[in-house]
Amino acid sequence: MESRTSRLRSAVGIAFTYLLVGVSWIIVTDYVVLELVGDPQTTARLQTAKGWLFVIGSTGLVYALVRSNQRRHERTTDRLEHALQQTSVLHRLLRHNLRNNCNVIRGNAELLEANDEVPADVDPYLAEIKHQTDRLVELGSKTRCLRDAVLDGDEPVRRLDLTAAIDTVVDDVRDGYPAVTIDTDRPETCYVRTTPKIERALRELLDNAIEHSERADPAVRIAVRRTGEGVDIVVDDDGPGLPATERTVLEEGIESPMIHSEGLGLWIVRTIVVQAGGSVKLVEKSSGTTIVLSLPD
């Protein structure tokens, strides 16, 4: 997609060209009429005629400039659509091969675990191999989620019951993590302008808090607060806190050769919330992490 700066430059270029041609036409034609014609009536008729010529000529000029700009946008769109198609194919192939290769690696690790001839001191390494392959499979799944969130960015925002969304996510997480304590503080109903994807964003925050906790029984709290501009969803955990790189990703959406996020969960959260017209911020605290999702009312 063209950047805002590029679009602004195109608009400024068209306006400047029109201004330059218009000023030049007025100066030159007025000089010619005043120098060569002395009769006031003839001068008036010529002024009228050159006015009509200016309207006709400027109409053609504006059409030519706009059509040229439009053709350039069409070429850019075609290139982007072609690149997107290729990216989608590569993405599917990558996910397919990644999943298959990880299954092979995990299967071999399980065979080694079941083999009585393998020394017992190797078991921790096999467990780590299985853990990392599972993480790779999960990463492939999250890349698809992030891709869908970006490509479906035009999904209409509508009023949804945030309380129902939170309850659904919390019930699912409790089923998956029985040792986790999740406290909620929300009204019986809370309608807000967002998309159904907000459930995925909440799930990513809860999963992130639980999986990175150093406690055997992590605790997470979700609170909903009405503000003057909308609703804040406050997710608070008792984990080790976010690294500086993860903070940059969540608050600013920046990824560079010097700044790398360890996962895609926070990218998914930020993408969904921003597309719904909201914002994400971190609250500084001595321990744990507090993330605030702000959504318009």
- Which domain covers residue 174, as residue numbers? 158-296
Whether residue 197 sits in one domain with residue 131: no
Residues 134 and 190 in one domain: no
129, 235: one domain: no
Q: Count Cβ neighbours within 10 Å for each residue of 158-177 and write b for 16 or more, e otherwise.
A: eebebbebbeebbeebeeeb
Residue pLDDT, tens place only, 265-290: 788 888 888 888 888 888 877 778 88
Q: Is 278 helix (H, G, I), strand (E, B) or coil?
A: coil
CATH number at residue 202: 3.30.565.10
Confidence of residue 7 (pLDDT cuts 50, 70, 90): low
More confident residue, 276 or 43: 276
Domain boundary among 104, 134, 151: 151
> Per the structure, how many domains does the chain have?
2
Distance of alpha carbon 120 from alpha carbon 129, whole angstroms: 15
Instruction: Determine how β-strand 191-194 pairs with β-strand 181-185.
Output: unpaired
For residues 226-253, average pLDDT: 79
pTM over 0.75, yes/no: no
In this structure, the answer to whether residues 54 and 182 fall within a common structural domain is: no
Q: What is the pLDDT of residue 2?
A: 47
Neighbours of 178 (CB within 10 A): 7
Residues 58 and 130 in one domain: yes
Q: Has residue 84 got a pLDDT over 70?
A: no
For residues 145 and 167, membership in a common domain is answered with no
